[in-house]
Amino acid sequence: MRVACLSGGVGGAKLACGLQDVLAPGELTVIGNVGDDVEVLGLHVAPDLDSVLYALAGLNDEERGWGRAGETWRALEAARHWGGEGWFMLGDLDLGLHLVRTQALRTGDPLSAVTARLAEAAGLATLVLPATDDPLRTSVVTPGGTFPFQEWFVARRHEDEVDAMVFAGADAARPAPGVLEAIRDADALVVAPSNPYTSIHPILAVDGLRETVVARRERTVAVSPLVGGRAVKGPLDRMLMRMSGGTSPAHVARCYEGLIGALVIDRADAPAESDVPLVVTDTLMTDRDAGRRLAEVVLEAVA
C-alpha cells in the first residue's frame, strides 16, 4: 500500500513513525513543510523536515519534541560567548546536520536531493520530500506587526494573537521532484495532526499541490491536532478560535474544505458534527505503540 503524508513538525513526525511502523519498507512518502525554515548562524535549518528525519530514525528527543535525544549545547554557548545569535537553540548534534545541509545547498544541490541523502545516511526506507525546493517562507500577521515564523514562534513564544499567515514565495514555488506523483499515486493520503495554518497550508500553497489533493479527496484523511478542543502542543487552539471562531472538529474540517474525505478526531471531541465523515479514536500519541494504533485507524479510514 502506497501512502503519502503531509506533515509539519512534532505531531506529524509522530504519526509518520506510526505509519512507517505499520507499512512495508519504502511504502511511505512524507512531504514536509519548509515554511518554517530559517537561517541561523549562517546555517539553513529546516525544523519540520528534521523533526521527521530524527523521529523516523529514532534519534529524536521525545520530551522536548524537537531536536535530538542526548543533545548538548556547547557550540551554541561558544557562539553566544563570541557575540553570535543564540535565540534559536541549535544543539551540537543537530548542528552537524545543518552544516552538511548548508554546505550542499551552497554548492547548488536542491533541498530535496540533500534531504534524500540525509534520509539515506539515517538508514531510512521512507522517502522524505520537502514540499518545494524553492524559497517559501511563512510570516505571521499579528496586531503587533508581521514576523518571520520562527521569530514569532520561538523568540516571541507565539504569544501574539494571529490574524493571518503569509507564505512568501508561494506563487513561484514549484513542487519538489516526486511530490505531485507521490500525492497522486498514493492509495492513501494522510494529513498529519499538525497545525493546519502554520504547517499544512504552506505545503498546499505550493503550485499545483492543492489541486492535486482536491482531485483525490475521497482517499484523503486528516487527523485533527486537537484533543478536547485544545492543542496538544502550541498555539493552534487560540489561532482556530480567533481565525475560525471555534475549536470543534467542524472548525478543523473547515481548514481542509474540499480536500479530505474523512477527519479522524479524538474521543474527547466526540460526539461532533461536520460536513465530512468523522472517525473517532484515541489520537494522543503518548508512545510509539499509540502512534502505530493511530496509523492503523487512519489507514482503515481510507481503505
Residue (76 or 299) nearer to ligand FO1, CB: 76
Q: Is 153 in the site for ligand FO1 (CB under 6 A)?
A: yes
Q: Is 50 in the site for ligand FO1 (CB under 6 A)?
A: yes
DSSP letters for 107-154? TT--HHHHHHHHHHHTT--SEEEESBSS--EEEEEETTEEEEHHIIII
Rounded distance between C-alpha atoms, residue 84 and residue 41, angstroms: 7
71 vs 282 by CB, closer to ligand FO1: 71
Task: Output 93 or 284, the one with its CB closest to ligand FO1.
Answer: 93
Distance CA 248, CA 270 (A): 9
User: Least distance from C-beta 89 to ligand FO1, angstroms?
Assistant: 3
User: Shortest Cβ distance from residue 236 to ligand FO1 (Å)?
Assistant: 11
Residue 214: CB partners within 8 Å, gap ≥ 6? Answer: 258, 259
264 with 232: CB under 8 angstroms? Answer: no
Binder of ligand FO1 out of 3, 4, 28, 67 (CB under 6 A): 67
Q: Tell me whether residue 41 or residue 89 sits nearer to ligand FO1 (CB atom).
A: 89
Q: Which of residues 196-215 bind ligand FO1 (CB under 6 A)?
A: 199
Which residue among 16, 20, 28, 48 contacts ligand FO1 (CB under 6 A)?
48
Member of 20, 66, 209, 221 binding ligand FO1 (CB under 6 A): 66
Residue 243 burial (C-beta neighbours within 10 Å; 0-12, 13-18, 19+): middle
* Residues touching ligand FO1, count (CB under 6 A): 18
Applying CB under 6 A, which of residues 90, 173, 232, 239 lies at the interface with ligand FO1? Answer: 90
Q: Sign of dihedral through CA atoms 223, 226, 227, 232?
A: positive
Contact flag: residue 47 with ligand FO1 (CB under 6 A): yes
Question: How many distinct helices (H) and strands (E) make up the chain?
Answer: 12, 14
Q: Does 225 bind ligand FO1 (CB under 6 A)?
A: no
Q: Provide φ and ψ at 188, rounded to 5°.
A: -135, 135
CB of 87 to ligand FO1, least distance (A): 7
CA distances from 164 to 151, 197, 272 (A): 15, 9, 27
Summarize as ranges the residues that interact with ligand FO1 (CB under 6 A).
8-10, 36, 45, 47-48, 50, 66-67, 88-90, 94, 150, 153-154, 199
